[in-house]
């Protein structure tokens, strides 16, 4: 029997709600996982990506990660991992550094044997690279095989890539996919193209308040068949208070509900719905702070409803921006970059890198047409207005990037890129904390930073 601890989406370095305590929480969760691994004497720890929250973790985060990996190494437990979308860098990966230091193994197209099992890895593959994926894994004599990878897969909800396609195309017939990316722990068995188990281990701390379920990891036993069990982790207390205000009810009702709960050191997440009076979030946050809550976050769904009404009856700001950009007569290259900055699919901290990558790609493609201004409006004043535009255009681009830095459209990001409830991007729209990191995720490697591991060697 071979027992593997399957974890992922650790998100080290995430200062959720801008709190140093939360950074420590993410670290503590990783330490707990390692401690359990040592205590259980598992045969390996498998990490399915997003060890770090950001592709530029701080030195403290790197050192903290290293100390956990050393703990595992001291206990002779291999740490086998792939690269997730959050942490992916262009060339070398953080994981390569840990491998060089002898405390981690980067899984890839060649099997790594643990007990009776051959383990393979596939880093997060951006959508744009999937067509070129070779699926070329080196064959093995081992009876059981597992692939560790990072991405949102069908048939799970919110999947954007069918795991059955991955299984069918791969040159090794995997018995099991050990997955990261979706922060909701879950498992499925598929019959096609062959029988296989698919499982997400879930995140080890709540990277978004929408991750309500208890956090944990998987223990995967390979013997007669495959047995997947969950183990829970003790994490920061999150107190969820969902209040439906009746007409005439207001803050007082919310305070009553909060009084029923132990708030000390907890992250308190208040969601308000219903018909009642308007509530000032700052007062509720103050109430939480006075009772020792680490953080209090208020989402007023009624405000969202009002905002939507305004959108419909007055103007659609997104549409207005799109129209204005169409008028600017930008080149396709410029529009492409605008999209990168403004669509807010990219974490604020990664925008510079992603834009740089995109410019590099455009230059490499060497299509002069991409830099030709689009045709402006026709008419006599075309020349004049184009000239005007070249100045005005630059100013507008600055404004837009400033707006993007200010995270102007978090809701679009969430819905377009990731499921509420499920993946790591899912902070509820309207959640009062729009911390840059939380609304970050998926698209940050669509830039092409993350190379598919297969075929590299």
Radius of gyration, CA atoms only, the chain: 24
Q: Residue 359: left (phi > 0), alpha (psi -120 to 50), or beta?
A: alpha
Residue in 3, 9, 25, 413 binding Mn ion, rule: CB under 5 A: 9
Distance CA 338, CA 401 (A): 8
424 binds Mn ion (CB under 5 A): yes
The beta-carbon contacts of 274-278 under 8 Å, at least 24 apart in sequence, are: 274/243, 274/244, 274/245, 274/246, 274/249, 274/302, 275/245, 275/246, 275/247, 276/245, 276/246, 276/247, 276/248, 276/249, 276/250, 277/245, 277/248, 277/249, 277/250, 277/251, 278/250, 278/302
Provide, rounded to whole angstroms, the least separation between the CB of residue 145 and Mn ion.
25
Residues 6+ apart with CB under 8 A from 355: 337, 340, 341
Q: Which DSSP symbol is given to 428?
A: P
Instruction: Please tell me the total number of residues recorded for the chain in this structure.
Output: 457
The DSSP symbol for 143 reads: S
Of 1-9, 29-37, 404-412, 430-438, the segment contacting Mn ion by CB under 5 A is 1-9
CB of 50 to Mn ion, least distance (A): 4
**Least CB distance to Mn ion at residue 439 (A):** 13
Residue with smaller CB distance to Mn ion, 150 or 164: 150
Q: What token pair was written down for 212?
A: 């309500």
The active-site residue, picked from 6, 11, 53, 86, is 86
- In sequence order, the 6+-apart residues with CB closer than 8 A to the CB of 126 are 85, 445, 446, 447, 448, 450
Judged by beta carbon, residue 424 or residue 444, the one nearer Mn ion is: 424
* Least distance to Mn ion, CB of residue 296, Å: 25
CB of 247 to Mn ion, least distance (A): 41
Nearer to Mn ion, 208 or 296 (CB): 208
For Mn ion, the closer CB: 183 or 342? 183
Near Mn ion in 346-365, by CB under 5 A: none
Piece in contact with Mn ion (CB under 5 A), picked from 245-253, 269-277, 407-415, 421-429: 421-429
Catalytic annotation on 86? yes
Q: Total residues contacting Mn ion (rule CB under 5 A)? A: 3
Query: For residue 42, what are the contacts with CB-CB under 8 A and spacing of at least 6?
Result: 3, 4, 5, 77, 219
| Strands 117-122, 267-274: pairing kind | unpaired
User: Based on CB atoms, which residue is closest to Mn ion, 170 or 418?
Assistant: 418
Stretch that binds Mn ion, among 7-15, 112-120, 281-289, 300-308 (CB under 5 A): 7-15
By CB under 5 A, tell whether 64 contacts Mn ion.
no
Using CB under 5 A as the binding rule, whether residue 87 contacts Mn ion is answered as no
**Shortest Cβ distance from residue 184 to Mn ion (Å)?**
11
CB-nearer residue toward Mn ion: 32 or 184: 184
CB within 8 A of 253, min separation 6: which ones? 243, 245, 246, 276
Looking at residues 22 to 61 of the shown chain, list those that interact with Mn ion (rule: CB under 5 A).
50
Of 9-17, 28-36, 312-320, 340-348: span binding Mn ion (CB under 5 A):
9-17
- Piece in contact with Mn ion (CB under 5 A), picked from 5-13, 194-202, 232-240, 328-336: 5-13
Residues marked active site are found at 86
Interface ranges with Mn ion (CB under 5 A)? 9, 50, 424
């Amino acid at each position: 029997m071979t027992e593997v601890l399957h974890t992922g989406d650790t998100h080290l370095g995430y200062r959720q709600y801008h709190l140093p305590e939360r950074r420590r929480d993410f670290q503590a969760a990783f330490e707990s996982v390692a401690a359990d691994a040592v205590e259980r004497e598992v045969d390996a720890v498998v990490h399915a990506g997003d060890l770090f929250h950001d592709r530029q973790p701080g030195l403290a985060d790197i050192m903290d990660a290293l100390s956990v990996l050393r703990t595992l190494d001291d206990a002779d437990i291999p740490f086998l991992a792939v690269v997730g979308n959050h942490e992916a860098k262009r060339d070398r990966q953080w994981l390569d550094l840990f491998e060089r230091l002898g405390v981690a193994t980067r899984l890839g197209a060649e099997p790594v044997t643990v007990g009776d099992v051959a383990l393979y890895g596939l880093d997060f593959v951006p959508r744009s690279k999937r067509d070129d994926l070779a699926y070329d894994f080196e064959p093995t004599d081992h009876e059981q095989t597992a692939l560790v990878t990072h991405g949102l897969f069908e048939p799970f909800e919110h999947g954007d890539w069918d795991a059955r396609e991955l299984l069918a195309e791969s040159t090794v017939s995997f018995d099991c996919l050990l997955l990261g990316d979706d922060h909701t722990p879950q498992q499925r068995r598929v019959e096609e193209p062959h029988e296989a188990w698919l499982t997400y281990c879930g995140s080890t701390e709540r990277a978004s308040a929408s991750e309500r379920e208890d956090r944990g990891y998987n223990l995967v036993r390979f013997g007669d068949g495959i047995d997947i069990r969950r183990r829970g982790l003790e994490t920061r207390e999150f107190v969820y208070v969902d209040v439906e205000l009746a007409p005439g009810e207001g803050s007082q009702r919310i305070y009553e509900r909060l009084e029923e709960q132990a708030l000390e050191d907890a992250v308190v997440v208040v969601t308000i719905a219903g018909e009642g009076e308007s509530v000032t979030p700052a007062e509720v946050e103050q109430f939480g702070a006075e009772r020792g809550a680490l953080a209090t976050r208020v989402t007023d769904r009624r405000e969202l409803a009002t905002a939507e009404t305004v959108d419909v009856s007055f103007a659609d700001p997104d549409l207005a921006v799109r129209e204005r950009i169409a008028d600017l007569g930008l080149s396709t290259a410029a529009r492409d970059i605008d999209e990168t900055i403004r669509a807010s699919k990219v974490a604020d901290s990664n925008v510079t890198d992603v834009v740089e990558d995109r410019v590099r790609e455009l230059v490499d493609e060497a299509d002069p047409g991409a830099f030709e201004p689009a045709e402006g409006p026709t008419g006599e004043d075309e020349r004049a207005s184009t000239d005007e535009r070249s100045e005005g255009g630059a100013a507008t681009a600055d404004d837009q990037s400033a707006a993007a830095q200010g995270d102007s459209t978090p809701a679009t990001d969430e819905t377009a890129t990731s499921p509420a409830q499920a993946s790591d991007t899912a902070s509820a729209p309207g959640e009062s904390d729009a911390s840059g990191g939380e609304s970050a995720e998926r698209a940050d490697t669509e830039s092409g930073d993350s190379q598919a591991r297969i075929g590299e060697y």
